[in-house]
Structure 1
Amino acid sequence: MKEVNKVSGAETTVIAGAGIAGVHAAESLRKEGYQGRIVLLDSDSQMPYDRPPLSKEWITGETDEASILLRDPAFYERLDVDLQLGVEVTNIDPFRKTIDTKDGHSYEWEKLMLATGSQLRTLSIGGDDLQGIFYLRRMADATAINHHMEGVKEAVIIGAGFIGAELAASLNQLGIKVTIVERSSYPMEAIVGRQASAYFLDLHRRNGVDVITEDSVRQFNGETNVEEAVTAAGRRIPCQAVIIGVGVSPNTAVSHPQLQTDRGYAVNEFGETSVPDIYAAGDCTSWPYNGVPIHVEHWDHAVNHAKTVAKNMVHPQSDPYTYTPYFWSNQYSNRFQYFGHAKEWSKTIIRGSTESHAFTVFYLDDQDVVKAAFIANQPKNALPVRRMIQQQNAISPEALADESIALKKIQRMQVKI
């Protein structure tokens, strides 16, 4: 029989997941005046930490564990948050309003937030049990990679998405010879289009990274440690370390037949799931954006979504989530930003030039409305671009391409449809 964890007479909110969304949700509950008990559960045994630095500053040794903690340990005591680490949630009972954990405990709740984040996509490749082959998701992974990289001269990265690209830049900075193996012809083309994708390809090659496209790794060879990666095309790549970065998927392992999922827990604009009093926030969700359900895995979204959903948990249906998706990536000395969400577009307009390494690519629909934009080393464009996407007005493509016309002015221009 499970031990039920409850405080007599106390209203309880349980948050499953102590990542960026879960921690900000707990903080926001208190800011919104919630006086009940908050239980914050996480399967990781580390104090809650920030993940983006793991592929950058952590790998290069520019930061330490203390500096990437989301909050100092005293924060949870100060806000009276019951943080339970190393706890894996296994089951939800929406009728009894309990959540069960692998260690045999059961927590009662009046309201529950699922902030379970995402989980790694993995590959099955011959020889992948050799030492020196890693995935990067948790601090423990990053720590193991750091320890292994001492003495490594050659590394292979599988996947040229943003995490793979950031890792390549970080390892390159450490003086390691890096080879990226990517299945597609152009990395991240589905997200940023051909122009920006070709720019990324050239950027890494100019910095000494060997980027192999239209190929995949089929075999790892070595005695006990990986010594080479063999591709489908027959390439043999010497390496003493491999990092596999082929993306993530929403973590919806905590489920119930009444809990609807669609590329994540399906929530409305208030963060409510299909089950009363169960909410969800962050990477594990699918949420309405311009009337269409979307799923994104962005740090900025996780923070803002968690704050908004927490407010709605305290003040039901008081604050609809109207967020413009945003993410960034730092590679070498470059700062890249992406605003909006566009799975497809009718035309792209480039402002600036890839040759100058300072440009903005706009993704327009067939009525010349800007759906998304990719910004390279032009941080001043961020605010007007965000507003342009939020307003959803038709914009002159010619004006977008003309750098003599300020974006603030273009933002106020409307084209009759």
Structure 2
Amino acid sequence: MSVEHTTVIIGAGIAGVHAAESLRKEGYQGRIVLMDCDKEMPYDRPPLSKEWITGETDKASMLLRDPGTYERLDIDLKLGMEVVAIDPVRKTIDTKDGSSYEWDKLLLATGSKLRTLSITGDDLQGIFYLRTMADAIAMKQHMQHVKEVVIIGAGFIGAELASSLKQLGMNVTIVERSSYPMEAIIGREVSEYLLDMHRRNGVEVITGDSITQFNGETTVEEAVTAGGRRIPCQAVMIGVGVTPNTTLSHPQLQAEGGYVVNEYGETSIPDIYAAGDCTVWPYNGVPIHVEHWDHAVNHAKIVAQNMIHSQSAPYSYTPYFWSDQHGSRFQYFGHATQWSKTVLRGSIDSNAFTYLYLDDQNIAQAAFLANQPKNALPVRRMIQQQKAVDPEALADESVALKKVPRMF
């Protein structure tokens, strides 16, 4: 292969691996250097809170690609490499070990980093954040003799962990600071539904409270809340969200809640691109940030195309994520930070419904699906079309979603 040109990709997660693979599929003949600070072969993160914890999958099956794939595609995979500086003039990057790499095109696929808490006693053994394979291995080893677990945060990671650990027969308590977790994303009615689902499945959920102290000799034995609750536990999982990993910076590199990119994945510095969870990108004319597996894959593929054929493929994507909890599959399409009305299609009590979020013009901005995968495709199309719909017909299950009248 020709090595006249070099593309360096920083981050070997979902976005980085798919971008490298897509470059080859698009016919790129130059050198590809794919690097990551993690020493593990690139792996899939979502199963860490589900199939890995419950023992339904092993380490090898979580690899994003067979190790031989990188050799076959002539991708120079460099693990355990931390990038510390970018020089856009010389077109080089420097790593912590003192190495320097030249590049013609650079892709930032640095993903996200954990939000952390500072709580008295948080240096005790048995207190975990779940982000990396190393975290998951340490957690799984510790959990072998644990009966009582406290989970801080009722977001999707915390909720999935609660489901997985309950499945293993543990007593699980979730402590959530807000009264209605994820209300800003899914609304109060759906938030109440999810809280009730966990309680029906034997998970104790404490809302409107927070952990202020951990007690124990060497290993955590008790979590104390601001409201005075004392919760016995032998393990604590902290899942209070993530933020875009924009640690790697440069004065000319615009980062506002993520590396700011245009519809082609271009950053504010020529020949530097960014893809996936670390970005803020234009959606329906508004800059947004999402941290979804599906977005990371699709964004990386499109950005890779634009790295080869400049500004040839604008990114047009409807955000999507899913979550498996207590035997249910939840799906969310679109992006809505506010809405004028909601439409319930189906029955919440039946655990099978579609909940839609409409703006003041009756245009669907987002939808939450509970155990109704058949509605996924028509809902996605409805959101993509951005046309007003008839709310009454939308709520009527006798009217097929694809036949709900559009109000032009």
Give TM-score scaled by structure 1 length: 0.97
Deviations 1:84-118 (A, max 9, x none): 00000100000000011101101000000000000
Match of 1:213 among 195, 207, 224: 207
Aligned equivalent of 1:110:
104
| Distance in 2 (alpha carbons) for counterparts of 1:220 and 1:338 | 35
- The amino acid across from 1:248 in the alignment is V
What is the CA-CA distance between 1:188 and the residue it aligns to?
Answer: 1.2
Aligned to 1:80: 74
2:323 to 318, 326, 329: 329
Equivalent in the alignment of 2:146: 152
Q: CA deviation at 1:8?
A: 10
1:197 aligns with 2:191: yes
Report the equivalent of 1:232: 226
2:369 to 361, 370, 375: 375
Displacement of 1:298 in angstroms is 0.2
Q: Where do 1:264-413 residues align within 5 Å?
A: 264-410=258-404, 413=405
**Structure 1 residues 309 and 100: CA distance shift in structure 2, 3 A:** same
Structure 2 SS opposite 1:131: coil
Quote the sequence identity (%): 77
Partner of 2:53 in structure 1?
Answer: 59
- Give me the whole-angstrom Cα distance separating, in 2, the residues matched to 1:405 and 1:177: 43
- 3-state SS of paired residue (2:145): coil
Query: Alpha-carbon deviation of 1:10?
Result: 2.6
Pair 159,9 (structure 1): closer, same or farther in 2 beyond 3 Å = closer
Q: Which residue of 2 aligns with 1:101?
A: 95
With 378-387 and 188-197 compared, the bigger mean Cα shift is at 188-197
Question: SS of 2:291's equivalent?
Answer: coil
Quote the residue 1:119 is aligned against: 113
Secondary structure at the aligned position of 2:332 is classed as strand
Q: Deviations over 1:13-41 (max 9, x none)?
A: 00000000000000000000000000001
1:138-177 to structure 2, matched below 5 A, reads: 138-177=132-171
Equivalent residue for 1:4?
none
Deviation at 1:187, TM superposition (A): 1.5
SS in structure 2 of the partner of residue 260 of structure 1? coil
CA distance in 2: counterparts of 1:151 and 1:400, whole angstroms: 50
Pairwise CA RMSD of aligned residues? 0.9
2:251 aligned with 1:253, yes or no? no
What amino acid does structure 1 have at the position aligned with 2:19? A
Output one character per residue of 1:129-154: Cα deviation in whole Å (capped at 9) or x when no partner. 00000000001101111000011000
For 1:194 and 1:402, the matched residues in 2 are separated by 22
* Length-normalised TM-score, structure 2: 0.99
Q: 4+ residue runs of structure 1 moved beyond 2 angstroms?
A: 7-10
What are the superposed Cα offsets for residues 227-248 of structure 1, whole Å, 9 maximum, x if unpaired? 0000000000000000000000
CA distances 1:307-360 after superposition (whole Å, capped 9, x unpaired): 000000011100000000000000011000000000010111110011100001
- Counterpart of 1:414, as a letter, is R
Unaligned residue ranges in structure 2 (runs of 5+): none
Amino acid at match of 2:118: S
> d(CA) in 2 for partners of 1:345 and 1:103?
50
Q: For the Cα contact (< 8 Å) 2:244–2:279, is it kept in 1? A: yes
Aligned pair 1:415/2:407, yes or no?
yes
1:147-192 deviation per Cα after TM superposition (whole angstroms, max 9, x unaligned): 0001100000000000000000000000000000001111111111
**Aligned equivalents of 2:2, 2:395: Cα separation in 1:** 64
- State the AA in 1 paired with 2:97: D
CA contact (8 A) 2:364 2:386 kept: yes
